[in-house]
Each structure stands twice: as C-alpha cells, then as structure tokens.
Amino acid sequence: MQEAALYLQALGIVSALGIGKDETVAALQGLRPSSMAARPGYLPEREVVVGEVPGTLEALPAGMDAHDTRTNRLLWAAARQIRPEIEAALGRYGAGRIGVVLGTSTSGIEEGTAAYAHYLQDGRLPDGFVYRRQELSGPAEFLRDALGVAGPAYTISTACSSSAKVLAAGRRLVRMGLCDAVLVGGVDGLCRFTVAGFDALSSVSATLCNPMSTNRDGINIGEGAALFLMGREEAPVALLGVGESSDAHHPSAPHPEGKGAIAAMRMALAEAGLTPDEISYLNLHGTATPLNDEMEARAVVEVLGHHVAASSTKPLTGHTLGAAGAIEAAILWLLLAVPGMSLPRHVWDGAADPALPELALVTGARLVPKGRIAMMSSSFAFGGSNAAVILARGAGAA
C-alpha cells in the first residue's frame, strides 16, 4: 500500500541565483544574472569561477556567537524567509514535535582554515575561536537553538547527495510519529579548502562549467542554502518519492554504468507510483565532469528514456556540494508552485558529446506544463551515494 504523500509547505532559498524566491525565479527565467564569476582568493595565484551569494549576509540572532560561520549565516538567510510558517508550526504542534534534518559538507571549515592560518603566523588561535563551529552537526544545532525547536536535530553528510537524502530522513520522522513537522534542507558556504581539494583532483573548470558538452572539463563550486518546512497538511507541492542507493564503486568516481544512479531513480519512481513517462522534467546532477556526465546520461536514458525534458542548473548556481540536493529540489518547488514559469535552460556551448546518448536538453523557451505534473532531481556523490527526488503539484496548485 502506497503511503500518503507529505508536503513541502514553505521554502527559503539563497544561492548565486539570488536571495529569496523572487530573485531566484527572476534569475532562473533569465531576467537577472546569476553571480557566477571568476574570483580571486580561493586558489593561490589565480582566479577561479565560483558561485558566490551576492550581497551582505545578515548577522545571526543575539546569543548565537558560538555558531557564527558563513555557512550558518547562509542558513539563517533561508530560514528568515519562512519564519512566519515556522512560528505557526511551533504554535500548532509545540517545539518538541518539530525536527531539523540538514545536509552539509563544509559546515565551519572555512573559519577553521582561517584560524589555523592565524595559528601558523602568531603561534596561537584567534580570540573567540570555537572549535565546534567546524563540526558537521553545527548547522542543525544552530537552527534548533536559533528557532527554539526541540525535536530531533541532526546533519547528514554524504557529500553531494547529503541534502537530497534529508527529504527521506525528514519524511521518516513524520511517518514514524516522532515529529509533526520537520525543517529539511541543505547548506554549504564557499570554502578555500574545498575548492583546493577539487582542484587537486583536476576537477575544477577554468571557465563556466559546460555540462554534457564534448568540451566539458570540470565543475564550478558554489554556495547556498535551501530550507523547507515539511508536514502532512496539504500544500501546492508534494514530496512523492525519494530513492536512495549506495554502489560504493570508488571513493571519487561514479560507477561507469550508473548502476547506483539507476537504482535510486527507479526507487523514487516506485515510491511515487509513477511511470517514467509521467516525469515532466529532470534536473540533472550535471556537474560537467567527464565521468559524471557520461554515467548520468546513460542512467537517464535507461530509466526515463530519451525524451524527458532535462537541464543542469549548475552553470547558474555552481555545484553547492552538500546543499546541491536541496537547492535543486527547491528549483523544482519553484517550477511547480510559481505560475507561468519556464523550464530552466541548459547552459552550455551546444557541442554535444557523440559518446553520450542524446538527451532532450532544454535549450529554448519552454513553459512548465499545467495540471498535476511531477518532476525529478538527481544527486550523485563521492563514495557511490546516490539519491533521486520526485516532487509534484499538490492540493491548491495553479
């Protein structure tokens, strides 16, 4: 028996597309630029294209100094956007019935890197340094403390699948009766350590990333946060299915045949009770690395066929790592919830790789279909951790 769907009742988002839903929608529709640009400071002696969040981030609430990291400021920028819905849930259910499940991969490592540089120069850590800011649990603990919720609060860190997997984890908390509502999402701040690490793997592109192109040569790192309020009450966007798999093929390379990706996508379809031809749009993982795009193209055709509309939004946001699954699910949420949206265009040079099966990449204006439709987003991570998420228009949708 298929279990009843849960709903993503509210969304806060911040990324290189902008701060908040309005700026994000405008950038997705080509009405304002993304802030992807070559910038100094992330790699020694050269600039690198990254997706920085534009503008100045607001300080954390009073009393939260121990949690003060760029990652948590990004998370707070997303949380503030849905504060009224969170307060309403607190009033309805009580603090102990609301949980927090977040994905991240950087937490406060940038602040730790800066503190270590200070130590190397001065022989001591800087005043006010708090070691636990670096812990992966930090974002979930910060949000719990800042909002005053008292349900389960924890972080999932499985690299680039982290914040896709939180949707399944949060759903389990509700279905098990442990929570009535859960704050689920992901956050990662730009981090010199991370950029240097990917550069050491020869995985960072010298220019804007070029997914599915024969000329693709690597990723651009980005930052951002997306936060949903999940619960049983009907809302315009429903979470229909989440597929998770682990093929454990290699520490950093995907399975060449996409076995884990295929398993996750098929599991999501089965949970949603949908056939492949009922997926209206696929947000690709689309990192623009040679191995990921080859694997993913084959997996997409195996599961969904050649004709599903698809695009990668990583040239617009950068690869936000632990936040990627949530931000790309948030893009689906906006496509389903905001009337009159067009599907995001696939930004690339148009030079198709003849070694890859052909995909129906969105290269021109194409309106989101009307009616009750479903969309999928896929996330594939180091270590063979894979996740696929299906969202659909729910009750009250246009």
Q: What type of residue sits at position 353?
A: D
As a whole number of angstroms, the distance between CA 35 and CA 375 comes to 26
- Among 67, 255, 285, 346, the active-site one is 285
Give the side-chain half-sphere CA count within 13 A for 299: 29
Cα separation values, 365 from 168, 304, 346, Å: 32, 22, 11
Residue 167 burial by CB count (10 A; 0-12/13-18/19+): exposed, middle or buried? buried
Cα separation values, 208 from 220, 315, 320, Å: 7, 6, 14
Strand partners, 188: 224
Are the beta carbons of 66 and 182 closer than 8 angstroms? no
Helix (H) or strand (E) holding 40: strand 36-43
Q: What type of residue sits at position 392?
A: A
Does the active-site annotation cover 306? no
Are the beta carbons of 391 and 240 closer than 8 angstroms? yes
* Assigned token pair, 362: 């969105």
Does the active-site annotation cover 209? no
- Among 67, 160, 209, 255, the active-site one is 160
Q: Of all residues in the chain, what percent are helix, strand and coil, respectively (each to 5)?
A: 35, 25, 40
Does the active-site annotation cover 191? no
* H-only helix segments in the chain: 21-28, 70-81, 83-93, 109-122, 138-147, 162-175, 192-200, 259-272, 290-304, 314-317, 324-337
DSSP conformation class of 82 = T
Q: Please state whether 93 falls in left (phi above 0), alpha (psi between -120 and 50) or beta.
A: alpha
- Among 67, 255, 319, 346, the active-site one is 319
Q: What is the dihedral of CA 312, 314, 317, 318, to 10 degrees?
A: 180
b (16+ CB within 10 A) / e for 242-258: bbbbbbebeeeebbeeb
Q: Any idea which residues carry the catalytic annotation? A: 160, 285, 319
